[in-house]
């Protein structure tokens, strides 16, 4: 199974840190965010990784190389300086991802989700990992119906973690170019073709300098050092 790490975002909320450094290369406890994700994927046996590039993307490519230092094989999907947003970026990377289901994970999160749970998982068009709503996103994104079917509406909404398992068919009718992921997902949810699960483990969206500092403090605790 292949995995794609989304690393093309500008990181506006992280400025001025991201004016000269792409967000996935910002360090928490002395290590770039993207390294934590790569190492956890490899530990789960997922070693074929695609990373999309846009803002300051050359720095990522130079730092990570071909992935051999992580016992991984890394390929890059270059989107130019502007970027294609999430769905557009995935569509652009499909020639590298192939015809089988693949994992996609945001490059600016930290989590301890067990990636092996997604390997060989039965799939229609997509399976999304939901987490408890953080204070900065209290209303959540999606609800679970019958425990596993995702819907945009519901009494209790959870937050989309930025982790998903996708079938290439989800993007089959999408035109190349800039495109957001949410409308595509919501359309498929209306046809009950998106499944999901609630994960209650550790997860953090590293969207601001304050949260980057919070993650560094968390990783500096004795059980993580």
What's the pLDDT tens digit per position in 22-37? 889 999 999 999 999 9
Which residue segment(s) compose the domain that 10 sits in?
2-224
pLDDT in tens, 61-112: 999 999 999 999 999 999 988 889 999 999 999 999 999 999 999 999 999 9
Count the Cβ atoms, other than its own, within 10 Å of residue 68: 10
Whether pTM > 0.85 for this model: the answer is yes
Question: How far apart are alpha carbons 177 and 191 in whole angstroms?
Answer: 25
CATH code, domain with 128:
3.90.550.10
As for how many domains the chain has, the answer is 1
Q: Which pair of tokens denotes residue 215? A: 């993650």
Q: Are 111 and 127 in contact (CB under 8 A)?
A: no
Q: SS3 of 205, please?
A: strand
Residue 48, CA distances (Å) to 25, 186, 197 in order: 20, 29, 24
Q: Which pair of tokens denotes residue 137? A: 């996103």
| pLDDT value at 164 more than 70 | yes
Tell me what percent of the residues of the chain surpass a pLDDT of 90.
76
Question: How far apart are alpha carbons 11 and 98 in whole angstroms?
Answer: 28
What is the predicted pLDDT for the residue at 148?
A: 83
């Amino acid at each position: 199974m292949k995995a794609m790490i989304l690393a093309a975002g500008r990181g506006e909320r992280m400025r001025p840190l991201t004016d000269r450094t792409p967000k996935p290369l910002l360090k928490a406890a002395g290590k770039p965010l993207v390294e934590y994700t790569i190492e956890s994927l490899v530990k789960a046996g997922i070693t074929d990784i695609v990373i999309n590039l846009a803002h300051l993307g050359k720095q990522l490519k130079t730092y990570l190389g071909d992935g051999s230092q992580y016992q991984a094989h890394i390929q890059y999907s270059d989107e130019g300086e502007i970027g294609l947003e999430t769905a557009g970026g995935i569509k652009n990377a499909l020639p590298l991802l192939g015809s089988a289901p693949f994992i996609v994970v945001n490059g600016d999160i930290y989590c301890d989700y067990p990636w092996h749970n997604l390997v060989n998982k039965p799939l229609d068009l997509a399976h999304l990992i939901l987490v408890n709503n953080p204070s900065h996103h209290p209303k959540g994104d999606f609800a679970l119906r019958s425990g596993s079917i995702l819907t945009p509406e519901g009494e209790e909404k959870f937050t989309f973690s930025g982790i998903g398992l996708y079938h290439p068919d989800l993007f089959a009718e999408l035109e190349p170019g800039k495109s957001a992921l949410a409308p595509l997902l919501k359309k498929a949810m209306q046809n009950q073709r998106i499944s999901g699960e609630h994960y209650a483990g550790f997860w953090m969206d590293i969207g601001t300098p304050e949260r980057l500092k919070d993650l560094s403090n968390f990783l500096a605790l004795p059980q993580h050092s």
